[in-house]
Each structure stands twice: as structure tokens, then as C-alpha cells.
A and B are shown apart, each in its own frame.
Chain A
Amino acid sequence: MNTEEPKPIVVRNLVKKFGDQVVLDDLNFHVNKGEILVIMGGSGCGKSTLLRLLIGAMRPTSGSIEMLGTDLTRLNEEGLDDLRKKTGILFQSGALFNSMTVGENIALPLKEHTKLSADVINIMVKMKLEMVGLRDFEHLKPSEISGGMKKRVGLARAMALDPQIMFYDEPSAGLDPIASAMIDELMMDLNKKTGVTSIVVTHDMGSAFKIAHRMILLFKGRAVAVGTPAQIRASGDPLIRQFINGLADGPIPLRVSRKDYAEDLLEPFIERF
């Protein structure tokens, strides 16, 4: 990777708190142009929160997120909209508009944000659908296609405006191994052909190691490991080893309660006496 190029995303000292609970704790990382960065982590490590911050659906407690040259934490809704036109996101469920056909779903951003004629939009919809291999499904409703297809349509819709950055939220969640592998292939293919910078949030290790150029492991709101798949795999850190091998035994505790167990059990008695 050429590090001289301006980086599309630079995250500095990012902190997000919900009340007293610290979800993201002083997070620093960057994404290089045209690379696939995979953000891994267990449930509740702050992955989803990070993604929501990156797409501007939520504001951080402190810190900055520089995206395509602007600090999105300082933008108003209008500025965020300008940025959103240059980014795409594939939601976990696909998040297709159920009242519209597959084709209408993909046409919507084109109708809203471009001055293209209906014929041109039609052609573009067909091209985007062909890209994800679903050209024959243009006139079906989302309820008539499978989960994997929904995600592929969601991908086509997210790519409709040819974004410079793509976000993927758990692309393999809820899919069978074949559909999941197809999504992986599509993500890599799109990245190679269009050079779109991709950020993938996932807990699926198999897919993570397959697609990543670089990866970040989040644990308790901190980036505990950053590196290429080979570096991560070669790491001796017990935490990383536990995570990538999917072991129940290791430094990541099974129990997530903050309170002492005995204290919790005895609480009513302590109060009474």
C-alpha cells in the first residue's frame, strides 16, 4: 500500500460513552485508499457503535473522524448528506424497502440524487443487478427473494451512486456458507474492479481472513491488534489467539457482569440488616 496518498478515513482519539458506560475508548486507526479493512470483535465490543459513528448516524463523545478530507463529527445534517452520497453501506439485513421492487430499490438513490432520465436509470439498474448476478430479479419484491439475494441487492443499491467508501455490517450474518462465500467474493471483486475503499465489520473469522488487506481487533472498545492477516495470525498474544481460534477459554471472560457474584446474591440480605 502506498502510504503517501491521502487516507480516506482517519479516526483520532475516538471516545463514545452511553451514560457512564464507555463503549469506545480512545480509538485510533486509519484506512488506506482502496484497501479492505476488517474490524473484528466479539459481541458488545463496540463494533456496531463504531460503524454507526462512521456513517454519521451517531455523534461521538469526543475525538474526530476524518472522512474524505472532512471531519464528519463537525458536519451538520446537510454536510453529512453530501458525505453519505459518496459512501455506501450494506446493512446486516440488507434493509431493502419492502414496498418497492428490487429494481425500484436500486433506482431510488439514482432518482433522488441525479438528474438522469428514467431510461438511463433503467439501464443503470440492470447493470448494478448484473454486477451482483441478479438481473432476472428486477421485478420481484424483497419478500420474494432469499436472505442472501437481499444482501446482494442491498449491495447493488449501496453501489448505485458509485461510492468511494463502502461499509459492510456483518455481511455473513444469517447466511449459509455458500451465500456467505458469494458475498465475500462480491466484496473482493468490487474492491478490485472499482477500487472502492471497504470497511467490513464482522465476527466471522473465516471470511475476515479471506477478504482483509488489514484487520483491527476490537476488545472492550480498544483496538488490541492491528495488522495484516498474516501478522494477526502469527501473533502470540493470548487474547488474539483466543479470538481467532474461537476458544471459550482465555483472557476474554465468559461472564460480563460488573458486579461481584457473591455481593449480587447477598444484596437483599445486606440491605435488610
Chain B
Amino acid sequence: MENIAGELGAGFYSGLRYIGGMAWLFADALFFIFIAPFSKRKLRVRGEPVLEQMVRVGFSSLGIVCLVQLFIGVVIALQLANLLKTFGIKEYVGSVVGLGIFRELGPLMTGMVMAGYAGAAMSAELGTMAVSEEIEALRALAISPVRYLVAPRLIAAALMIPCVTIIGDFVGVLGGMGIAWSVLHITPSLFIKMMLETLVTSDVVVGIFKSWVFAVLITLIACFEGLRVDSGAEGVGRAATRSVVFSVVMIISADCLFAAVFRILLGR
């Protein structure tokens, strides 16, 4: 009994330290993004690495995100086709697909794909740099790893992941629309009309906001895991795995929290 309590306590403590460390990293990154450029030292986050990361996070992941979103749209429409037909409200397929994708599944699935695609790459890259003394070399050259490595990734992800999400959302809707047309014989114009009738601006804004939060979560977890690698190839592998698993768990937890909070705030 004593052992279980002790282990629970230790687990709780290490969990707190983990979250504390990540919060510290976030604060540090925010400092370098928003405050340091205006301090007397003018320590700017350089544009070049931000652009490079934007290409890596945003552009190269676009294809896979669109593919996943397309299938999500197809699946929602297919699963609902019979049900909606039974109730005689098959024209509502546009409403369901639009709402489901823009508000919920678009940001969520894009977040998941990004956790695996961008998050794992980031933690493996930083982890490898930590192992080969590169992080220490940066510090020795008086270049803060948070300013040089973490801040550009955070900016790039926070800018690009919402964009990728929006593009993916449209592709997903396109998939749903295709199924609605071919299986339910609902014309695209009716599909879009029904979708626009149901969707309100807040749904889209909430979706974008969520994808932005997911982007920050993914980057922070990936960078935190990467920077704390201290032992060889095994450590790098572990960091990549942990960053993906933690990101996915955090994304879903945050999504659940948002669903509750926005239901209270917005009433939908």
C-alpha cells in the first residue's frame, strides 16, 4: 500500500515537473518572440529559420493532410447516408459534413497528422542535435537554443497548421460533397446551401482557434522532448515516440475541454 502511494506520489511529482518544464519553455519562447526584440539587446528571432520551418511544417504536409481530410469527408457522408435517408432528411448531409469537419474533425485530424508528421520530426531532429553536442555548441556560441530552434518552430507551426487545417477542411467537404452527389443524389449547390445555412462564423473560428492551440501543443511537446534527450540513439527514438503519443493525448484532451467550454460560452 505504502509502495503504491509512494509511486503515485512520484508519478504525480514527475508529471508536475514535466508540465512545469514545458510551461517554462513556452514562456521562454514567448519572451524571445514578443519581448526580446524590443529589449535593449534586440535579440530577434531570425526570419530564415522561420521560413524554412514554415515550408517543412506547412507545405510538405499539405498532401497528406488533404488526403486524410478527403477520406474523413467521404466516411462521414457514407456513414450518414442511410440514416439520413431513413429519416427522409438526406439533404441535411451538407450540414452534418460541414459542421463536423469545420468545427471538429478537421482541426482534430490535422492535429493528429501533424503530431506524427511534424512533431516526430522536430523531436528527433532536436534530440539528435542534443546528442551530438550541437545544442551545447549553440549555448557556447551565446546563441540561445530556445531563440534559435524553438521559437522559429513555434512561429512556423502556429502560422501554418491553421492554414493547412483550413485547406484540408475544404478538401474534406469536397469529399463529402462527392459522396452526397453520387450516393444520395444531392447536387453540390444544394449541399453547399444546406452547409452554409447550418454553419455560423463562430464554428469556423472555433475550428481555427483549436487548430492553433493544437499547433502550439505539438511544437512545445516535440521541442521539449527533443531538447531533453541525453543518451544516444535510444533516447532520440524514445523522444520521438513520446512526443507523438503525448501530443495525441493532449490534443484529444484539449479538444474535449474545448467542446465543453465552447458549449457553455457559445451555446453550441
Residues of A at the B interface (CB closer than 8 Å) are 55, 57, 77-78, 80-82, 84-85, 87-89, 91-93, 95-98, 108-109, 111-113, 157-158
Min CB–CB distance A107 → chain B (angstroms): 12
B230 in contact (CB, < 8 A): no
Given A93-B132, A97-B134, 14 more pairs with CB closer than 8 A:
A55-B140, A57-B140, A80-B142, A81-B144, A84-B142, A89-B137, A91-B133, A91-B136, A91-B137, A93-B133, A96-B137, A97-B137, A98-B128, A98-B134
Query: A residues within 8 A CB of B132?
Result: 93, 95, 98
Query: A residues within 8 A CB of B263?
Result: none
**Interface residue from A55, A77, A95, A111 paired with B134 (Cβ < 8 Å):** A95
A98–B126 CA distance with the chains assembled, in angstroms = 11
Chain B 134-172: CB-based contact to A (< 8 A → 1; otherwise 0): 101101111110001000000000000000000000000
Query: B residues within 8 A CB of A84?
Result: 139-142
Query: B residues within 8 A CB of A108?
Result: 141, 143
**Sampled A-B contacts (9; CB under 8 Å):** A81-B144, A84-B140, A88-B140, A91-B140, A95-B132, A95-B133, A96-B137, A98-B128, A98-B132
Min CB–CB distance B227 → chain A (angstroms): 14
Min CB–CB distance A30 → chain B (angstroms): 22
**Closest 3 A/B residue pairs (Cβ):** A95-B133, A95-B137, A84-B142
**Interface residue from A57, A85, A112 paired with B136 (Cβ < 8 Å):** A57
A95–B134 CA distance with the chains assembled, in angstroms = 5
Min CB–CB distance A185 → chain B (angstroms): 23
Closest to A87 in B: B140
**Interface residue from B128, B129, B142, B148 paired with A113 (Cβ < 8 Å):** B142
B41 in contact (CB, < 8 A): yes
A111–B47 CA distance with the chains assembled, in angstroms = 12
A109–B134 CA distance with the chains assembled, in angstroms = 13
**Interface residue from A78, A92, A109 paired with B141 (Cβ < 8 Å):** A109
A55–B148 CA distance with the chains assembled, in angstroms = 20
Question: Known interface pairs A93-B133, A95-B133, A95-B134. Does A81 touch B142 (Cβ–Cβ under 8 Å)?
Answer: yes
Min CB–CB distance B226 → chain A (angstroms): 14
Question: Known interface pairs A78-B41, A95-B134, A98-B132. Does A89 touch B142 (Cβ–Cβ under 8 Å)?
Answer: no
Within 8 A of A (CB), among B93-133: 128-129, 132-133
By the criterion CB–CB under 8 Å, are A112 and B133 in contact? no
By the criterion CB–CB under 8 Å, are B134 and A89 in contact? no
Closest to B41 in A: A78
Closest to B141 in A: A109
Query: A residues within 8 A CB of B133?
Result: 91-93, 95
Closest to B137 in A: A95
A82–B141 CA distance with the chains assembled, in angstroms = 10
Min CB–CB distance A118 → chain B (angstroms): 12
A84–B139 CA distance with the chains assembled, in angstroms = 8
A57–B144 CA distance with the chains assembled, in angstroms = 12
Min CB–CB distance B148 → chain A (angstroms): 8
Closest to A86 in B: B142
Query: B residues within 8 A CB of A91?
Result: 133, 136-137, 140
Query: A residues within 8 A CB of B136?
Result: 57, 91, 95
Closest to A84 in B: B142
Query: A residues within 8 A CB of B141?
Result: 84, 108-109, 112, 157
Closest to B140 in A: A89
A55–B132 CA distance with the chains assembled, in angstroms = 18
Query: A residues within 8 A CB of B41?
Result: 78
A111–B46 CA distance with the chains assembled, in angstroms = 10
A80–B139 CA distance with the chains assembled, in angstroms = 10
Query: B residues within 8 A CB of A80?
Result: 142
Question: Known interface pairs A78-B41, A98-B132. Does A109 touch B137 (Cβ–Cβ under 8 Å)?
Answer: no
Query: A residues within 8 A CB of B143?
Result: 108-109, 112
Min CB–CB distance A78 → chain B (angstroms): 7
A95–B141 CA distance with the chains assembled, in angstroms = 11
By the criterion CB–CB under 8 Å, are B139 and A85 in contact? no
By the criterion CB–CB under 8 Å, are B134 and A82 in contact? no
Query: A residues within 8 A CB of B137?
Result: 89, 91, 95-97
Query: B residues within 8 A CB of A88?
Result: 140
Query: B residues within 8 A CB of A111?
Result: 46
Query: B residues within 8 A CB of A85?
Result: 142
Closest to A88 in B: B140
A93–B128 CA distance with the chains assembled, in angstroms = 14
Query: B residues within 8 A CB of A87?
Result: 140
